[in-house]
Amino acid sequence: YLSAELVEQVLKSPDTAPQLGGEEVEAAVLFADIVGFTARSENVKPAQVVRELNHYFSYIDPVIEQFDGVLDKRMGDGIMVVFVPRDDEAAIEHRRRALCCGLALLRTVQEQNPLGAKLGIAPLQIRVGIAAGPTVRGNLGSHSQIEYTVIGDTVNLGSRLESSAEPGRLMVTKNIFDAARTLDLEATEISRQAS
């Protein structure tokens, strides 16, 4: 029910009730969703939709964990994943982790399609958008219900990039694209945000 990062914070100070508010933090925010999933869902029973989504999440969640991303939220078939700098890494590394995660998600979905076909699941394609920059991380809501998340222009931009990405492709901000320069990546897999 909670991300490992949030659980760790609660365990560090279990007697402290969550307070509303937040702190500024540099982050990379990744959005991904299944292309055409809404239309696809209209033609199958709700139980089948849940089955297909759970199958999808069963193989993308480990990819997110592999790159130390925090699954901030699921929005139907969409996901929002946050990458913040770790104490032991250079400032650019969280951007590289986000980029590598996005590319790994694209590859993993393609690799899993044959298994999905054996389970009666039509092939999936996703689109991914990633933005990096300042965000506010913290507890939002009211005292009756609190959500731990990140907000800001960086989050909004990541969402818009995902919506603009071509199926099976990744669209990123310039600072994410620049972080890829030292990585051995297929440039054709990445579309940079137009200046």
Residue 17 in tokens:
């009730």
**Cα Rg of the chain (Å, integer):** 17
pLDDT-derived band at 71, boundaries 50, 70, 90: very high
DSSP type of residue 103: H
**Could you report the per-residue pLDDT of 87-99, keeping only the tens digit for each?**
888 878 999 999 9
Predicted confidence (pLDDT) at residue 28 exceeds the cutoff of 60: yes
What is the reported pLDDT for 1?
59
Asked which of 32-41, 151-160, 161-170, 178-187 is least confident by mean pLDDT, the reply is 178-187
For 110-119, the CB contacts below 8 A with 24+ separation are 110/168, 112/59, 116/52, 116/55, 119/55
What is the reported pLDDT for 4?
67
What is the reported pLDDT for 127?
97
Q: Cα dist. 155→11, 36, 99 in Å?
A: 27, 22, 15
- Identity (one letter) of the amino acid at 133? G
Instruction: Output the CA torsion sign for 184, 189, 193, 195.
Output: positive
Residue 127 pairs in a beta bridge with 33
What is the reported pLDDT for 19?
59
Q: Which residues contact 54 (CB under 8 A, 6 or more apart)?
A: none
**Could you report the per-residue pLDDT of 90-131, keeping only the tens digit for each?**
878 999 999 999 999 999 999 999 999 999 899 999 999 999
Mean pLDDT of all residues in 150-162? 93
Predicted confidence (pLDDT) at residue 185 exceeds the cutoff of 60: no
CA distance 135 to 66: 23
pTM comes to: 0.85
